């Protein structure tokens, strides 16, 4: 076996030709260093066409511990995964360790975000396989992602088709992309995931998406496929296709022309599978979160603001920036409308990943010809789900508050309130992040359960934010209103359990600060979801959940939650849900008393002298 290396500066990729690779040359038995747990979504990773290899860097990147190795290469060389996992890369697969070593060190030492290689395998001087490799770092792990091109592909087309897209993001977000140059198509793995089939060598000769369009949508795509589009033209359409297995899907298409200098050379585009979002019977968690903000014109929730394919903004965003939703495209240059250069520089760093948090006030010019700008507050934060980077944030138009300078006392109070809103948002993001981390360990094989739990918690927190933004008062939140709204939305979320009768009495004149109501609503959320799912069986008649809160003296408040179910077995409260409840009760300096008799009763008493609590 021998190899040849050559670097292509235009493509910024190293090409390696590998001749006559064999198991005897690359694989060695070596001692295990550590035990390895299966990755989350292992079954999903096994279904996609790319090999995802995960490692723990050691010795400052000089070596790696193998925690996952893709199935394709192991199958080609007939290697058992058990002989690879938990071992040093340099000892079990020294050939590949040496091949990737310098690239890995650049990523580990932050000299490079992504390293790319193209591997060409030859057997008896005949090209047998082309492989594009991406090396990156996420959350302390090194990932080497291998994308296997079609066996029949030529070297020239392989060079054109190489890509540094994150294949897993496409898979999880149900997106895909393509480009067409010189009458040939190149499709990413996300497209094949949407279509539910594998790549074919003929795919480069025809449009595998538009050829599946329903007859009624054919006219739409004639415009979408028009050649020689103007340079700044963008086509955005929704079309329906019928896949080879007969499934109807709705796709959002975003198409753009590609120019080389002034010469039109082709077209490229993105597709997003919208089918589940259009199905009203499916509760989409992102849509559920967005619903809490749709009526606000001064406050906007931003999801994936830097991703041109998967971004989602509530209507308030378009009202704040002064652009109609149907006329907005992601290439709209927000930066040129911001007055402060330092803010623009920091926002660009956030977009590039140099910083993970952004919290700035700035002036925004809706129209450069208009001298009077608006004042905005923007909060952004990066977070990880399944080792993938995502961004969430809030954009708030605070112009109206700033303009009331003649009312100094009111303005000062509003400034404090706005800061408190931001403080609560940050705290709640941290709370949700803690819940996610706890449940990822407990329910690693049940991701749907984690999402369901997070939906109900997000709902409870969004109620508080809506109440405080409407009242602009942190010292006087009406407890009865908050709990009633929570109950209504929880009933919608848990609609499959609509045979349960909820009986609630909260003193309508009881008011508390948000710092106390927040953990209370989360406690009620946990108790309600646990009771609905576990307290009743098919033999339970007249299912009921009872809630009651009152001041029992000048220093103590009492909350009672009771169901008439089969009775709590875990009275020691050892489960994860019980531990979360106890932790939240501790936050309000409360005590818990559990009674099991014809159901389960939770009685929580907590002091009210910690902050203002009383009657308005």
Query: Regarding predicted confidence, which is higher, 110 or 464?
Result: 110
Q: How confident is the model at residue 204 (pLDDT cuts 50, 70, 90)?
A: confident
- What would the pLDDT profile of 323-382 be if each residue is shown by its tens digit? 888 888 887 888 889 989 999 999 999 888 888 888 899 999 887 666 688 888 898 887
CA separation, residue 460 to residues 426, 523, 530 (Å): 16, 10, 15
**In sequence order, which residues have a C-beta less than 8 Å from that of residue 156 and are 6 or more positions away?**
none
Share of the chain above pLDDT 90, in %: 12
Place of tokens 């190899």: 3
User: What are the tokens at 337?
Assistant: 């409308």
Instruction: With a cut of 50, say whether residue 60 has pLDDT above it.
Output: yes
Rounded CA-CA distance 573/580 in Å is: 10
- What would the pLDDT profile of 247-283 be if each residue is shown by its tens digit? 888 888 877 776 666 676 677 778 888 875 544 433 3
496: exposed, middle or buried (C-beta count within 10 Å: 0-12, 13-18, 19+)? exposed
**pLDDT value at residue 61:** 87
The domain covering 2-154 belongs, at the CATH homologous superfamily level, to PAS domain (3.30.450.20)
Query: Regarding predicted confidence, which is higher, 359 or 157?
Result: 359
**Angle ∠(564,567,570) on CA atoms, nearest 5:** 145
For the chain, the average pLDDT equals 77
Our CA dihedral for 279, 285, 287, 290, rounded to 10 degrees, sits at: 170
Rounded CA-CA distance 588/258 in Å is: 59
How many Cβ atoms sit within 10 Å of the Cβ of residue 149?
A: 19
Rounded CA-CA distance 303/301 in Å is: 7
Per DSSP bridges, beta strands 591-596 and 600-607 are antiparallel
**DSSP character string of 501-512:** EEEEEE-TTEEE
Q: How confident is the model at residue 384 (pLDDT cuts 50, 70, 90)?
A: low
Place of tokens 């990156």: 136
Share of the chain above pLDDT 70, in %: 72
Q: Return left, alpha or beta for 124; rule: phi > 0 is left, psi -120 to 50 is alpha, else beta.
A: left
How many Cβ atoms sit within 10 Å of the Cβ of residue 609?
A: 10
User: What are the tokens at 240?
Assistant: 């329906």
Q: Are 566 and 536 in contact (CB under 8 A)?
A: yes
- For the chain, first and last CA: distance in Å? 83
Taking alpha carbons only, the member of 198, 186, 204, 176 closest to residue 245 is 198
Place of tokens 């690239």: 103
- In this predicted structure, which of 138-142, 428-432, 519-523, 591-595 has the lowest mean pLDDT? 428-432
Q: Does domain 172-278 have CATH number 2.60.40.2240?
A: no
**Angle ∠(594,600,603) on CA atoms, nearest 5:** 40
| Residue ranges covered by each domain of the chain | 2-154, 172-278
- In this predicted structure, which of 187-201, 552-566, 584-598 has the lowest mean pLDDT? 187-201
- What SS3 class is residue 273? strand
**pLDDT value at residue 403:** 67
Q: Between helices 408-442 and 514-534, what is the axis angle to 10°?
A: 30
pTM: 0.34
Instruction: With a cut of 50, say whether residue 120 has pLDDT above it.
Output: yes
Beta-bridge partners for 120: 17, 130
* 2-154 and 172-278 agree in CATH topology: yes
CA atoms within 13 A on the CB side of 336: 6
- What would the pLDDT profile of 414-454 be if each residue is shown by its tens digit? 666 667 666 666 766 777 777 777 777 777 677 776 776 67
């Amino acid at each position: 076996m021998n190899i040849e290396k050559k670097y292509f500066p235009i493509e910024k990729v190293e090409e390696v030709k590998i001749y006559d690779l064999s198991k005897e040359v690359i694989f060695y038995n070596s001692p295990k260093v550590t035990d390895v747990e299966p990755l989350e979504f292992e079954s999903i990773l096994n279904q996609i066409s790319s090999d995802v290899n995960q490692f723990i860097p050691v010795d400052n990147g000089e070596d790696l511990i193998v925690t996952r190795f893709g199935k394709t290469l192991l199958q080609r060389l007939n290697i058992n995964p058990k002989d690879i996992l938990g071992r040093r890369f340099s000892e079990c697969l020294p050939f590949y360790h040496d091949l990737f070593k310098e690239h890995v060190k650049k990523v580990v030492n932050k000299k490079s975000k992504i390293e790319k290689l193209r591997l060409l395998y030859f057997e008896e001087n005949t090209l047998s396989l082309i492989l594009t490799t991406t090396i990156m770092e996420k959350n302390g792990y090194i990932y080497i992602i291998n994308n296997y091109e079609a066996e029949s592909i030529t070297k020239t087309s392989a060079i054109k088709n190489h890509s540094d897209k994150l294949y897993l993001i496409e898979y999880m977000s149900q997106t895909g992309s393509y480009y067409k140059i010189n009458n040939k198509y190149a499709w990413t793995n996300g497209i094949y995931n949407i279509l539910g089939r594998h790549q074919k060598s003929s795919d480069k000769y025809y449009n595998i998406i538009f050829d599946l369009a329903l007859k009624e949508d054919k006219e739409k795509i004639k415009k979408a496929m028009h050649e020689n589009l103007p340079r700044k033209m963008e086509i955005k359409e929704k079309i329906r296709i019928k896949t080879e297995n007969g499934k109807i899907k709705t796709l959002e298409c975003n198409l753009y022309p590609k120019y080389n200098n002034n010469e039109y050379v082709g077209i490229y585009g993105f597709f997003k599978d919208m089918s589940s979002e259009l199905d009203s019977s499916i509760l989409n968690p992102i849509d559920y979160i967005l619903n809490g903000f749709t009526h606000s014109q001064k406050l906007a929730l931003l999801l994936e603001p830097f991703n041109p394919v998967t971004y989602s903004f509530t209507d308030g965003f378009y009202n704040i920036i002064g652009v109609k939703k149907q006329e907005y495209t992601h290439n709209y240059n927000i930066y040129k409308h911001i007055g402060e250069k330092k803010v623009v520089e920091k926002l660009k760093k956030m977009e590039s990943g140099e910083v993970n948090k952004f919290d700035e006030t700035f002036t925004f010019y809706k129209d450069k010809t208009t001298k009077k700008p608006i004042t905005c507050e923007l909060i952004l934060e990066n977070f990880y789900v399944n080792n993938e980077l995502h961004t969430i944030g809030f954009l708030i138009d605070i112009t109206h508050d700033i303009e009331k300078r003649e009312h100094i006392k009111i303005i000062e109070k509003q400034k404090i309130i706005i800061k408190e809103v931001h403080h609560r948002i940050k705290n709640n993001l941290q709370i949700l992040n803690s819940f996610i981390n706890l449940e990822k360990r407990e329910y690693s094989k049940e991701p749907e359960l984690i999402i369901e739990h997070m939906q109900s918690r997000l709902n409870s927190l969004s109620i508080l934010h809506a109440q405080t933004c409407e009242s602009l008062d942190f010292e006087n939140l009406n407890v009865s209103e908050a709990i009633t709204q929570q109950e209504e939305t929880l009933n919608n979320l848990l609609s499959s359990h609509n045979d349960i009768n909820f009986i609630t009495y909260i003193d309508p004149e009881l008011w508390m600060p948000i710092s106390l109501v927040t953990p209370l609503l989360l406690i009620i959320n946990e108790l309600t979801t646990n009771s609905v799912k576990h307290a009743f069986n098919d033999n339970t008649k007249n299912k009921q959940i009872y809630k009651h809160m009152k001041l029992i003296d000048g220093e103590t408040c009492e909350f009672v939650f009771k169901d008439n179910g089969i009775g709590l077995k875990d009275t020691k409260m050892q489960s994860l849900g019980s531990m979360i409840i106890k932790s939240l009760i501790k936050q309000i300096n409360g005590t818990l008393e559990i009674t099991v008799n014809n159901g389960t009763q939770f009685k929580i008493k907590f002091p009210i002298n910690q902050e203002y609590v009383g009657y308005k």
